[in-house]
Amino acid sequence: MLEIFSLRSARPGSSTRLSDHPARSRALAVLALSLLAALVAAPATAVTAAGAPTTVGVPTTDVAEATSATGAAYRAVAPRRVVSGQGIGAGKTVTIRIPDVPAGATAVQLNVTASRASAVSYMSLCAAGTPLADCRTTSALNPRPGIDTPGSAVVALGGAARDQVTVYNNAGSLRFSVDVHGFYVPPTTTDGVFTSRVPSRALDRTFGTREWQTLTLRDVPVGATAVAVNVTSSRFSTVSYVSACPAGQDRAVCSGSSVNNAAPGIDRANAAVVKLGGTSSNQIQVYNNAGPGRVVVDVTGFFVKGGSAGKGTYVPVSPQRAMSFQPMSAGQTRTLTAPAVPAGAKAAVVNVTTTRTTGTSYLSACPAGTALASCKAASVKNPAAGRDIANSAMLKLGGSRGDQITFYNNAASTSLIVDVVGYFVGEAPVTGTVPNPPAPAPAPASTSAKPDASNTGVR
């Protein structure tokens, strides 16, 4: 459910060729009671979607129904590819079974990659058993011909065993791969709860072909289990993909998953939640398959142990339209008040879409009240002329009532659509940080691994 920004010093460049269909906000609140009564399709079986829409476009109607839910904690896992190169046609659905789902899990954190698309389309993800009319009103990613397109999504689990997700493709034919990064589960003392950050840059460098870097993150809370990031690819000389995994994970396995799909002339971002590794649990490893190309990593928060206390747990809501086709000129900021967010919430999960853009730009987002210079130091997406582009993010809330987010548009003009799809209850308890890394950061290392379609499902 996700993209990022304009070529200038210390920032990724804006998209120049991307024509993604605008993401429609994800229906994260399709919960267990409604799923019990629903019919479940067989795993990995395509069925015809009667009455599927034939055009793509930014939704113009607001959604205002909220749903109550118990907060969930996050259980990170090492990224694992569970679907590789599955074919799907226009107006069809495929229901997949997620392996090794923890008991009581209500949702799964996925990264989905679409490839070999024959037409501009959008893909929706929902709990198995969700009525198709509801499922296809949201989107996770926007495939187009000639480009491998990534998308990150938190998807409710459905089916009789609560271990299935349904994928819908609106137009054309394509192949898709699915990576699992974690699960949302009933809180325990060992599962992760969220502590948000003002977005900050953790990595910005050029990678060569099949290069790795172990990235030691700064100011990681004690007990952290995972990090929420935006990963951006920019200035790539060739088609590639970028992987992000916990430090210490087998590199052959890590490079068999992906969080971003780079291409020449396109600056692209994708959100991810990555399990932490290393002796102090403050490291991730980043891999680039082909290059050279620029990789940028921005941090928006951490998950830390202590879910049983209830603070920092995740509550989904039916998508709430917070900003609808709001015009933004170059250098302008706009502050929105998030709907469906109760008192005491500290962060919101949002889908951000730009449309009607006149040129290249980048869009930043930060808690209301943040100094503009700090806000502009990171970004959430890259508006581009003639393109509808979307990204998702976990964003810290600010303002006098703690329910506001400020957006900044760097250049050109664009129209902004923001949907709130969930929030985090309170802030996770933090008892200190692990030691910060020495400078300079470790140099990247090369590898002999050569992932390809046979082990990744992506060209």
Q: Which CATH architecture has domain 310-425?
A: Sandwich (2.60)
Q: Which CATH architecture has domain 192-308?
A: Sandwich (2.60)
Element (H, E) at 375: helix 372-375
Q: Annotate 171-183 with DSSP letters as a single string.
A: SS-EEEEEEEEEE
Element (H, E) at 33: helix 32-36
Q: Is 192-308 in the same CATH topology as 32-48+67-185?
A: yes
Closest CA to 357 of 11, 63, 18, 62: 18
Q: What residue type is assigned to position 264 of the chain?
A: P
Cα–Cα–Cα angle for 79, 271, 76, rounded to 5 degrees: 35
CB 44 within 8 A of CB 96: yes
pLDDT tens, position by position, 320-364: 788 888 999 999 999 999 987 888 899 998 888 888 889 888 899
Dihedral angle of Cα 376, 379, 381, 382, to the nearest 10 degrees? 50
Which single residue is written with the structure tokens 């993209």?
3
Q: Give the whole-angstrom CA distance, residue 162 versus residue 156.
A: 9
Query: Model pTM?
Result: 0.79
Dihedral angle of Cα 68, 163, 158, 86, to the nearest 10 degrees? 130
Q: Give the whole-angstrom CA distance, residue 209 versus residue 431.
A: 40
Q: Give the whole-angstrom CA distance, residue 158 versus residue 397.
A: 30
pLDDT tens, position by position, 172-229: 999 999 999 999 999 988 899 999 999 999 999 999 999 999 999 999 999 999 999 9
pLDDT tens, position by position, 267-318: 888 899 999 999 999 999 999 999 999 999 999 999 999 888 788 999 887 7
Q: Give the whole-angstrom CA distance, residue 347 versus residue 367.
A: 9
* Both tokens assigned to 53: 């829409």
**CA distances in angstroms from 68 to 28, 30, 122, 195, listed in the order given:** 12, 11, 28, 22
User: Would you tell me which CATH number, out of the four given (2.50.20, 2.40.160, 1.25.40, 2.60.120), belongs to the domain 32-48+67-185?
Assistant: 2.60.120
For the chain, domain boundaries: 32-48+67-185, 192-308, 310-425
**How many CA atoms does the CB half-sphere of 58 hold within 13 Å?**
25
In this predicted structure, what is the pLDDT of residue 444?
Answer: 61
